[in-house]
Amino acid sequence: MQATPHRPYHHGDLRRAIIETALDMLRTEKDWQFTLREVARRAGVSHAAPYKHFPDRTALLVELAMIGFDRLREALLDAKPEAPRSLLEEITPISLAYVAFGTDNPALYRLMFSAEEGRAVGMHLDQRALAVFEVVLDMLGRGQAAGTIRKRPVRGQATAAWALIHGITLLAIDGLLVPEKVGSAPLEAAIATLVDGLAIPQPNT
């Protein structure tokens, strides 16, 4: 195989190229209507080519969503402090990392939770989403064991924590967390209330 002056007929690894291109456009083009034809265009292939690698548009969406959940999980694990000295010291950086992931990748984050059709079709997506849930679950479980958080059904606490952070992330993406309306530092304030709800109650607080 010598260097080809023109695009070769066969693309080599079109599947990966399509995914990469889509992620790229999701990152750069804000408020982009995900369109298969444009992905193909930017990848330099005909609009029919993707169908050799994905059964339909939804399948690509699901693939992207799974990648998104994996990356989110990694971001959370990376943000986990080595030796947190308090519950707050552990919850805050993880929460901030979560919200940052969402606001840095708004289109991808949206997509992760709105590939409804995909959710109906396969359980793979749910699995990835619940892997994120388990990061929270694990954190709170260790907190309970260490005696820093309340003894309550830990899955309920994890659900509350996930929902709160998920909600904050989406409100932020939607531009509804404007300080003038909702108070200054809304993110930190909301996390404070979450910590209040998880921490062992201190009568003097």
Cβ at position 148, least distance to its own copies in Å: 14
User: What are the Cα distances from residue 47, in Å, to 17, 38, 54, 107, 137?
Assistant: 14, 8, 12, 22, 43
Q: Closest Cα to residue 132, out of 100, 167, 106, 94? A: 94
Cβ at position 176, least distance to its own copies in Å: 6
Quick one: which segment of 18-26, 37-45, 82-90, 129-137 binds its own copies (CB under 8 A)? 129-137
Q: Closest Cα to residue 68, out of 37, 134, 114? A: 114
Q: Does the footprint of DNA cover residue 11 (CB under 7 A)?
A: yes
Cβ at position 201, least distance to its own copies in Å: 3
Q: Closest Cα to residue 160, out of 189, 131, 194? A: 194
Structure tokens at 19: 């995914």
58 binds, among its own copies, DNA, none (CB under 5 to 8 A by kind): DNA
Of residues 53 and 166, the one with the C-beta less far from DNA: 53
Report residue 122 CA to chain centroid gap: 18
52 binds, among DNA, its own copies, none (CB under 5 to 8 A by kind): DNA
C-alpha span between 14 and 41 (Å, rounded): 12
Binding site for DNA (CB under 7 A): 9-12, 14, 34-38, 45-49, 51-53, 55-58
Binding site for its own copies (CB under 8 A): 31, 110, 113-114, 116-117, 119-120, 126, 129-130, 133, 150, 152-153, 155-168, 170-171, 174-177, 181-183, 185-186, 188-198, 201-203, 205
